Amino acid sequence: MNELGRLEDLPQDYRDDLKKLNLVPLWPSLRGLLPPKVPTRQTQVTHWPYAGIRPLLLKAGELTPIEKAERRVLVLANPGHGLEKMQASAAMYLGLQLLMPGEWAPSHRHTPNAVRMVVEGEGAWTNVDGEKCYMRRGDLILTPTGLWHEHGHDGDQPVVWLDVLDLPLVFYMEASYHINGEPQAVKPGRGDRAYARGGVAPTPVFQRSDKRYPMLHYPWVEARAALESLAADRPDLDCVQVTYVNPETGEDAENILGFYALMLRPGQTLRLPARSPAQVFHPIEGRAEVSVEGHAPFTMAEADTCCAPGYTAVTLRNPSADQPAFLFVADESPLHRKLGVYENRG
């Protein structure tokens, strides 16, 4: 293949004329925009150990009252993108949020989609569109685009959860904003009760629900039971994983990012193929040894978080010989499929 011309090869007066008209020659940058075979990725393999973050998060609770923070969050920033950009991957934002007893994070709504994966503590709740979702470790709670939500705490211990948003994408599109609101009245009806059993759904005899997101709260106790049942029924299955879905449509729970629960059997080693989307891993129970091609392996403890770039294979190993490990996984698969760029390279 012939080498493309460089910007420096062009006469300075010609480059000055281009600049005056806000013009840029493509060919010097073409290989950077369209590299051969594998995309250019800024996302780096990054591990955020919870043991080091937790005391800093609790210190933030002492230093900054909720009234001055609105949302008290330490952002898990990927150094490959620059810490100032506050993103974990091209389309994913991660943050650990703290709510102390008696605190209330005021109601608002925003354009980015968000989910909350509860890390520790009980007694806190999120009110999403009038549905009050009490938080327990491992629960997944959706706050989709445009829905009012607020957080409160009726318990006596700190509560921490992991925020996962598609904020980098929405911000890049120049579509990111929020609107403040009033405290939300609690309405009857809970999605986690209406869709508590797989294969059955409420029958809309008189009027079908107009909710775009009929289920907002996915209790960990149900997801864990589903994984254990699947593992027992399919001992031949290498990857014991379930997807958080919209129970009425079967599609992904939200439309940009995908969310999953993964079980590693005792002592199991699982190689995940190289796929186009970046991935986030977060152990809910147990530990996982993580190997990403081209990067030194590391071990994740409970509540740790890590990110792996797309187009790279990831190997997970459960070091326990007698206990399973359970991981929450987030990725960019729904976005890639919608754009037609999803790849599984095996």
In the 8-state DSSP scheme, what is residue 293?
A: T
User: pLDDT for 88-103, tens place per residue?
Assistant: 999 999 999 999 999 9
**Cβ neighbours of residue 81 closer than 8 Å, sequence gap 6 or more:** 42, 43, 87, 89, 90
User: pLDDT for 12-47, tens place per residue?
Assistant: 999 999 999 999 999 999 999 999 999 999 999 999
The secondary structure of 308-336 as a DSSP string is: E-TTEEEEEE---SSS-EEEEEEESHHHH
Answer yes or no: is pLDDT of 207 > 80: no
What's residue 276's pLDDT?
Answer: 98
Q: Are 266 and 320 spatial neighbours (Cβ–Cβ below 8 Å)?
A: yes
What's residue 206's pLDDT?
Answer: 60
State how far the alpha carbon of 227 is from the alpha carbons of 44, 261, 332, 333, in Å. Answer: 30, 8, 22, 21
Q: How confident is the model at residue 257 (pLDDT cuts 50, 70, 90)?
A: very high
User: pLDDT for 283-336, tens place per residue?
Assistant: 999 999 999 988 999 999 999 999 999 999 999 999 999 999 999 999 999 999
Q: How confident is the model at residue 197 (pLDDT cuts 50, 70, 90)?
A: confident
CB neighbours of residue 314 within 10 Å: 21
Domains observed in the chain: 46-193+214-339 (2.60.120.10)
Helices (H), the chain: 12-20, 30-33, 50-63, 66-69, 167-172, 191-194, 220-233, 333-339
What's residue 199's pLDDT?
Answer: 85
Q: What is the mean pLDDT of the chain?
A: 95
**Maximum pairwise Cα distance, the chain:** 74
Residues counted in the chain: 346
Answer yes or no: is pLDDT of 230 > 60: yes
State the amino acid at position 5 in one-letter form.
G
Helices (H) and strands (E) in the chain, counts: 8, 21
What's residue 290's pLDDT?
Answer: 98
Residue 61 CA to residue 50 CA, distance in Å, equals: 16
What's residue 2's pLDDT?
Answer: 64
Answer yes or no: is pLDDT of 222 > 70: yes
